Amino acid sequence: AQKITQTQPGMFVQEKEAVTLDCTYDTSDPSYGLFWYKQPSSGEMIFLIYQGSYDQQNATEGRYSLNFQKARKSANLVISASQLGDSAMYFCAVSSPSFGNEKLTFGTGTRLTIIP
Amino acid sequence: GAGVSQSPSNKVTEKGKDVELRCDPISGHTALYWYRQSLGQGLEFLIYFQGNSAPDKSGLPSDRFSAERTGGSVSTLTIQRTQQEDSAVYLCASSFYQDNEQFFGPGTRLTVL
């Protein structure tokens, strides 16, 4: 089995500040993928960033970066210079061969609120 | 281009009735997934289709749930004899084979009274 833990149910951050959303995972597979998705109030899931377990460098996509610490099984999402539009639910997810590479296991999410 | 579409957007039904939820994936995507999101929870995997292969049904919670995918495109998720615990948002996603990114639809909010 694989498990994702997001320990921050809610966060409030001042606009323009950086924010780190925590994610730890538990999988026994040596090869796996880590994902972050954003879910605004509209309900649609928006892909943000992907990190492969064998990638040497931390993934970055614009203002999003993934702080990947393999030994600690940690994959925190960092959002730089937060904006009001970043207010949403954020979900961490993992895929691994033993669970079926294509299927994602999601955490319970963190609700991020950006304060003007 | 068109994204993943789902219909209906909202469905209210009475306990014991059957419901059908539809998903139109992105054209050309060979993989299609169904997930369920209960209130305040993350997404729970239900079923996965890949091309003409047999679907992975390992996430279906009971035999009241079934899904089919016709012609490698449109998929229908059927819930028979609905129960109140089936109330959730049902999300569909599609992707290219073994691609990392799954593209999600807007979901169908199912309410069982």
A22-51 pLDDT, tens per residue? Answer: 999 998 888 899 999 999 998 889 999 999
Across the A/B interface, how many CB contacts are shorter than 8 Å?
60
pLDDT digits (tens, 9 = 90+) for B26-57: 998 989 999 999 987 789 999 999 888 889 99
**Would an 8 Å CB–CB cutoff place B89 in contact with chain A?**
yes
pLDDT in tens, A59-96: 999 999 999 999 999 999 999 999 999 999 999 999 88
Return mean pLDDT, chain A.
92
Sheet strands (E) in chain B: 5-7, 10-13, 19-24, 31-37, 43-50, 65-69, 75-79, 88-95, 103-104, 108-112
- Chain B residues whose CB is inside 8 A of the A109 CB are 41-42
Question: In which residue are the tokens 């210079």 written?
Answer: A81
Q: Which two tokens stand for residue A46?
A: 């928006």
Catalogue the long-range contacts made by B81-84 (C-beta closer than 8 Å, 24 or more residues apart). Answer: B81/B16, B81/B17, B81/B18, B82/B13, B82/B14, B82/B15, B82/B16, B82/B17, B82/B18, B82/B19, B82/B110, B82/B112, B83/B15, B83/B112, B84/B15, B84/B112, B84/B113
B57 SS3 class: coil
The token pair that represents A10 in the structure block: 């809610």
Q: CB-CB: which of B42, B58, B103 is closest to A91?
A: B42
> Which of A24-28, B55-59, B66-70, B78-82 is modeled with the greatest confidence?
B78-82
Who contacts A23 (Cβ-Cβ below 8 Å, separation ≥6)?
A4, A5, A6, A34, A36, A74, A75, A76, A77, A92, A107
- Pairwise CB contact (< 8 Å): A109 & B42: yes
Whether B91 sits inside 8 A of A45 (CB atoms) is yes
B-chain residues within 8 Å CB-CB of A33?
Answer: 100
Q: Which residues of B touch A106 (CB under 8 A)?
A: 35, 42-44
Among left, alpha and beta (phi > 0; psi -120 to 50; other), residue B16 is: left
Which pair of structure tokens corresponds to residue A18?
């950086």
Q: Shortest Cα distance from B85 to chain A (angstroms)?
A: 18
